[in-house]
Amino acid sequence: MVVADVMRTTRDRTGLFFVVVLPVVIMVIIGATFGANSGSLPMAVVVADDSPQATELLDALVATGSVTVERYDDLDDARRDVRTGAKVGVLEIPSGFGAVLSGDDGTATVVLATTDPQAGMALAEVVQASTDDLGATYAARRFAKAQTDASPEQVAAAVAQASTTVPTIAVEATSIGQAPLAGNDNQFAYTAPSNLVMFVFINSLTIGGVLIETRRLGVARRMVAAPVTIGTVLLGSGAARLVFAVGQSAVILLAGRVLFGVEWGDTMAVAAVVAAFALVGTGAGLLVGSVARTPEQAQGIGIPLAIGLAMLGGAMWPLDVVSDPLRFVGHLTPHAWAMDAWVALVFEGAGLAGVWREVLVLFGYALALLGVALVALRHRLLSGT
């Protein structure tokens, strides 16, 4: 039964394109897009002080050409983007910055928060240089204001004296944790596992159409009439879908490693995650193949459902960039647990001990889907519909 299903499915060139070619093409497109780097450090800025001095500091930062500045209204949103790696750091210009800088003391403070130590250090140097220049400018203004009607010689002497006491703007660099996707600079490191999760599920559902053809052509009735148990028929149907799910995973694992240099992590842990999610895809494919009446109906149900679950489950973007309620909803899908496991393996170097909870949850989803699907398929086979 497995061999027959494999032979029939591999004759479909369109299906082979979706299994082998399309995942690699999507990895290239998305990886190249998100891997592009303009050479400047992306920085979030939260301005609580709407003063000319704050504007001058932003202009000075942009003028360096080393940073790309994006203003945020909410500090929590800015820190979230720093944690997820969308920004290298967040600069907070507190209320009263302009008044302090232009006052008699002139020692103002800004706060820079980063997660990446190396990029954060480079960003801190750029910010420090810009604030030093701005501090020197306002020191000169105070000097010129105080030294009116002075001779050039007196001005020169005063400037020399003032240069030794130029007020500075202190930069307090703090850590707000490590970004979940930090530590791996391969631009395909996230897109490869996300494509594995997405395409294994999509193709598992669409291959359910082969099971419908088996019923429609009367092959299922002949199998049930043969001297084999109904359990054997169910096992054969499930094993065929499992072979495709594991094969799809193997294609993406190999392409990610050979073509894009993705380090998947601990072999045993990778095998456990692949097996667990392949069983999830098998159960979902059997269920769609048992419920739908035509292959077109299976595709009409399967593809939108799979894409929607991929979006909710973090297979299209990290769940750390969404709100807590949406992250909770996302973890109602097996995709989110699979992506959590892959992030731990690829980005954090976790082993099997680090992803056992995610693997157990995936096996739980698999058992539930397989249980419902086998009951539905048994009913279909015995009723001959």
Which range among 135-149, 205-219, 312-326 shows the weakest confidence by mean pLDDT? 205-219
Tokens 């392409």 found at: 255
One DSSP character per residue, 12-24 reads -HHHHIIIIIHHH
48: pLDDT strictly greater than 50: yes
105: pLDDT strictly greater than 90: no
Position 46 scores a pLDDT of 92
Position 13 scores a pLDDT of 66
Those residues with Cβ within 8 angstroms of residue 246's Cβ, 6 or more apart along the chain or in another chain = 274, 275, 278
Q: What does the pLDDT average to over 58-85? A: 87
225: pLDDT strictly greater than 70: no
Position 340 scores a pLDDT of 94
Q: By 3-state DSSP, what share of the chain in percent is helix, strand and coil, each rounded to 5?
A: 70, 10, 25
Contact 98, 77 (CB under 8 A): no
Q: Which CATH superfamily is domain 38-175 in?
A: abc type-2 transporter like domain (3.40.1710.10)
pLDDT tens string 107-133: 788 899 887 666 778 888 888 888 888
Which range among 29-43, 286-300, 328-342, 359-373 shows the weakest confidence by mean pLDDT? 29-43
Domain ranges of the chain: 2-33+184-383, 38-175
Position 236 scores a pLDDT of 77
User: Between 267 and 304, where is the model more confident?
Assistant: 267
How far is it, in rounded angstroms, from Cα 5 to Cα 364?
26
Mean pLDDT of the chain: 79
